[in-house]
Amino acid sequence: MNTSDSKTWVQIRVTADTKYLDDVCSVMCMLDNGLMIEDYSDIDTHLLDGVYGDLIDESILNADKTKAAVSIYVPADKPLEYYKLHLTERFAALSLPVSIEYINLCEDDWAESWKQYYKPIKVGERLVIVPMWETYKAAEQEIIVRMDPGMAFGTGTHETTRLCASMLESYVTPGCTMMDVGCGSGILAICASKLGAGICRAYDIDEVAVRIAAENVKDNGLDNIVCKKSDLLAQADKTEGGYDVICANIVADVIIRMLPDIGAFMSEKTVLILSGIIDEREGDVQAALDKNGFDVAKICHENGWCAIAVRKKM
């Protein structure tokens, strides 16, 4: 593989006993909020006998459940000594027994490494998310969405994405306009387009996500989706009469922060689909929806996550 144009990263991985996980996360959050946590203490071996047996990798089932690891990823051109000094001093001050690794990663290798775990998955009644590198024969009435998410969120495997995609099947109508706020890999805009939506716009604050979303749009042979960088709604384009369908698969706090502004992009008939909400925060989101003039049309739950479809109050 030619990596001459690839960006190099350093994975800083801290391993400790599981009981120290919260403390390790607190220290690592001082350096970067984007934590990757490996904690397999809640994996139950009895799942092997159920429907999830084929979905759990053997290496995870055999992992040491007394240990947890927390990683951040740092561009190799940043001064690594600062990170080393911070971690050494903080963990020493807390008397935490940890092991620290510094692992060089090529962006291309990083983007390839997870592909072995990503297989075709059906979402909703008709949509099937299929990796670019997989072959899949569609059944009658199935709609194939080809995805190569790279390092952007949105493979179709997460509950929040599946909940949104399922709701899109209910609310997307031929020729409707659609906007996705926090598009990640572009998966929801692509699903909407495949379901018959007309003009679709996909926004994300991450330039890598915008690039990957645009590539996925092209690879699906679509020409009605515009992918652009935007900090939530700050740079998003309004459309005359409002969008027909808007998706925001983010997190509860960001959704709540966005609600006072989202109405300007909606009409009385617009359906706003919100996800990325853990069940424990559903009440907070519903309270914010009521405060900002929205009525709940539909709520779906899956494995501790919920998605909410709303309209403006009449």
Closest Cα partner for 196 from 140, 127, 146? 127
Q: What are phi and psi of 64, to 5 degrees?
A: -70, 110
pLDDT score at 8? 83
Closest Cα partner for 143 from 51, 54, 222? 222
Contact 217, 225 (CB under 8 A): yes
pLDDT score at 117? 58
pLDDT score at 291? 97
DSSP 139: P
pLDDT tens digits, one per residue of 114-136: 566 567 788 888 998 888 777 88
pLDDT score at 58? 57
Q: Vertex 307, ends 157 and 114: CA angle to 5°?
A: 15
pLDDT score at 44? 53
pLDDT score at 114? 57
* Sign of the four-CA dihedral 241, 244, 250, 253: positive
Query: What one-character-per-residue DSSP string does 60-103 give?
Result: HHTS-TTEEEEEEEEETTS-HHHHHHHHHHHHHHTT---EEEEE
pLDDT score at 55? 40
pTM, two decimal places: 0.65
Domains and CATH numbers, the chain: 8-113 (3.30.70.120), 115-312 (3.40.50.150)
Each as own residue / partner, the long-range contacts of residues 73-78 (CB below 8 Å, 24 or more positions apart, any chain) are 73/9, 73/10, 73/11, 73/12, 73/32, 73/34, 73/36, 73/105, 73/110, 74/9, 74/10, 74/12, 74/31, 74/32, 75/7, 75/8, 75/9, 75/10, 76/7, 76/8, 76/9, 76/10, 76/104
- Residues of the chain predicted below pLDDT 50: 1-4, 45-56, 151-152
pLDDT tens digits, one per residue of 203-248: 998 888 898 899 999 999 999 999 999 999 999 999 989 999 999 9
Q: Hey, which residues does 144 pair with through a beta bridge?
A: 128
* Sign of the four-CA dihedral 206, 212, 215, 217: negative
